[in-house]
Amino acid sequence: MSYLDKLNPTQRSAVECTEGPLMIIAGAGSGKTRVITYRIAHLINKGVDPFNILALTFTNKAAREMRERISAIVGPDARNIWMGTFHSIFARILRVEADKLGYPSNFTIYDTDDSKSLLRAIIKEQQLDDKLYNVNFVLNRISSAKNNLISVAEYKKNETIQADDFSSGRGKMGELYEIYAQRCYKAGAMDFDDLLFKTNILLKQYPDVLNKYQHKFKYIMVDEYQDTNFSQYIIVKKLAAVNRNICVVGDDAQSIYAFRGANIENILNFEKDYPELNVFKLEQNYRSTQNIVNIANSIIKNNTNQLEKNVFSENETGEKIKVIRAFSDNEEGKIVAESILQERTIKNLDYHGFAILYRTNAQSRSLEEALRKLNVPYKIYGGMSFYQRKEIKDLIAYFRLTVNPNDEEALKRVINYPVRGIGKTSLDKIIVLADEKNLPLWEIVSNIHLYVSGRGVENIMNFATMIRSFQALAKNNTAYDVAEHIAKQSGILRDLHADKSIEGLSRYENIQELLNGIKEFSEREDIEDRSISQFLMDVALLTGDEKSEEEEKNTVSLMTIHSSKGLEFPHVYIVGLEENLFPSQMSLNSRQDLEEERRLFYVATTRAEKKLTLTYATSRFKFGTLNNSEPSRFLDEIDPKFLDLDFNPAKQQKESSLSVDFGDERKGFTEFASKPKITAKVKTTQLLAKAHIPTEGFAPSDTSDLQVGMEVEHERFGFGKVINLEGKKPDIKATIFFKELGQKQLLLKFAKLRIVS
């Protein structure tokens, strides 16, 4: 067991603790993956059958990497571990048990585009306003319900939910959820949320099935446990109930997916479910310099809702964290681009060692423009993936229809592509007939002569005959043989080959690349099922980390901070550190949301290995208008001894010459600069004023009767006392002395003050 010698004492203790419930709190860069893989390998070396081990991850990339590492220790037995994403593992179980829920074993898995397409059709059929019932909003609402295990029936009878829908003018949400669920069921399809939702139903309604998998999975490991939602939590808890050999690994400080339904309470309260819990804390960061780890610690310590740990690094001290102020977002982009070019040239570095992280996708514009002007190559991480391209989705729709002819979205997509004389009018008639008779579309299409006569019937009959021929071929042939045949016989290859434009050639090459990938799949030695059905399941369950066919190139990576989780780069730039941007404006009225924003900043800083640069702009374009910006409160939370400032901060109030009178704005972090020859006197405040967290449930008061002497609270400036009022309504100005920031003058109609007393 020489592999154990590669672990530090805490890591080794966690690996060797194989029995009973275990929580491994893994700080950023602390060797989490190594501990998980070695622990599974250790279980196998102790005699545990790999078939009895369940390992759940959030990406296929993570699962594949872990399996490869385990294989290096235990050999081919690693292929027998039940290891994969939550969705892939439970889709596998549902394939076996689907008949109990009334689904075919070859059910289709709808991706987001399929779900949106179906919902658009339903919204149109119900003659609802598609602006009020925006398809993204409706899908998110249904997704949230499923992730909280709220069925259609429960949704429609829940008074709180119904009141919320009606108050927003969306009283038909329950009906949309119901119709959507019915249509998915009729099409033999599940969306991504269903893979968890239906698994919960399966385990709840069929005790024999629950018992079967409880005894099968004797050892359970869950990676990134802080990212689990309620649905995932319940499944894992049920499966672990018999043996209680459950190990969860995660870091509450990196819980950043509440908007997807992730519940940080799952990891914070894990001990309540397992009082006999063993806890190990992986606190040594092997990734980053000491300075980077130190500023990350100084940020996250401001959160109250967290598990205590002391992350440290024994790497080199490293450079101080550079903080750069720009006058505008365009200048910010220029400064960052020039910095990358300079670093790369002086130190002879590769571009792929640089990453620029931002809070919102919209921020990439100024950065892209600046990089292009300097001919710095870059890529947007998380752009359109290979499997989302139209030509790829078209051919895959044929595959889906071959495997599951009741797949409504696939049928609608390809019934007249390539063009075969089945127009929209004909398709609409088929949809109406299917609705009236409560039958799948395929039932009408495959027996069209029984329902419709006249023009176009022959074209529909020919289409149905072609699909049946594909189905017959799929029964006894590999995925590649079937795919190649469908690509030719459907007319897709011919149609794309006839398009001699650059775009047409690119689409044709993409189809060939897809076929190449299917050929590789069909020749794999580590799988038994090489059918087109299994290929479709693998594709449907690909996570975002695998969907791009682009190879790693020597380019600067641009991405949102959410997309950066799990990645690391030698040089990282975090841009846009401004109030109302990072932290986002929506997070400022809730302690819980603000703490998640702070965790997001923590995640961003810990992506850096050697050098970290923070930037902000004093003005930024928003909706075509240039607005003044304030430095982020997160900058104030960093211990200044770890920072390298490109300006002289105001450590106490002092007079300074500026281009604009910023009036009552928070100066907190920096001394501002000016264009030449235009001056105005303003006061700047202490650099490291403590950031104010609004009172829980903060809401502005009616200040029409505000009086001198009253105590008030401002959501950013904190608590203060009114010392003067001047002017007439509605333009009354209040002079307020704030405990942390000193005296400020605010225009009442914009101040959003809460009257304390």
Which are the catalytic amino acids? 32-33, 223-224, 254, 607
Give dist(CA 672, CA 663) in Å, integer: 13
Give dist(CA 296, CA 308) in Å, integer: 14
The answer to whether 87 and 254 are in contact (CB under 8 A) is: no
Cα within 13 Å of Cα(467), Cβ side = 28
Q: H or E element: which one contains 683?
A: strand 680-684
Give dist(CA 362, CA 575) in Å, integer: 12
Burial state string for 456-465 with b = 16 or more CB within 10 A and e = fewer than 16? beebbeebbe
517 among annotated binding-site residues? no
The answer to whether 249 and 32 are in contact (CB under 8 A) is: yes
454 among annotated binding-site residues? no
Token pair in block for residue 153: 């029936």
29 among annotated binding-site residues? yes
168 among annotated binding-site residues? no
Give dist(CA 667, CA 661) in Å, integer: 11
31 among annotated binding-site residues? yes
Cα within 13 Å of Cα(212), Cβ side = 10
84 among annotated binding-site residues? no
Token pair in block for residue 218: 């004797």
- Contacts with 483 (C-beta within 8 Å, 6 or more apart), sequence order: 395, 399, 514, 515, 518, 532, 535
Strands 742-747 and 321-326: unpaired
- Closest by CA to 342, choosing from 620, 645, 613, is 613
CA distances from 686 to 14, 62, 307, 697 (A): 45, 45, 31, 28
Q: What are phi and psi of 2, to 5 degrees?
A: -65, -20
Task: Show the beta-strand stretches assigned E in 334-390.
Answer: 354-358, 378-380
Alpha-carbon torsion 135, 139, 145, 150, what sign? positive
Strands 354-358 and 556-560: parallel
Task: Count the neighbouring beta carbons within 10 Å of the beta carbon of residue 402.
Answer: 28
The sheet with strand 753-755 has its strands ordered as 742-747, 733-738, 718-726, 711-714, 753-755
User: What share of residues in the chain are helix, strand, coil (percent, to 5)?
Assistant: 50, 15, 35
Give dist(CA 234, CA 200) in Å, integer: 8
Can you tell me whether residue 327 is helix, strand or coil? coil
Give dist(CA 517, CA 480) in Å, integer: 9
CA distances from 373 to 355, 366, 589 (A): 18, 11, 40
27 among annotated binding-site residues? yes
CA distances from 213 to 207, 217, 368 (A): 10, 6, 50
28 among annotated binding-site residues? yes
Name the CA radius of gyration of the chain, rounded: 29
Which positions make up the binding site for ATP?
A: 26-33
Residue positions forming the annotated binding site: 26-33
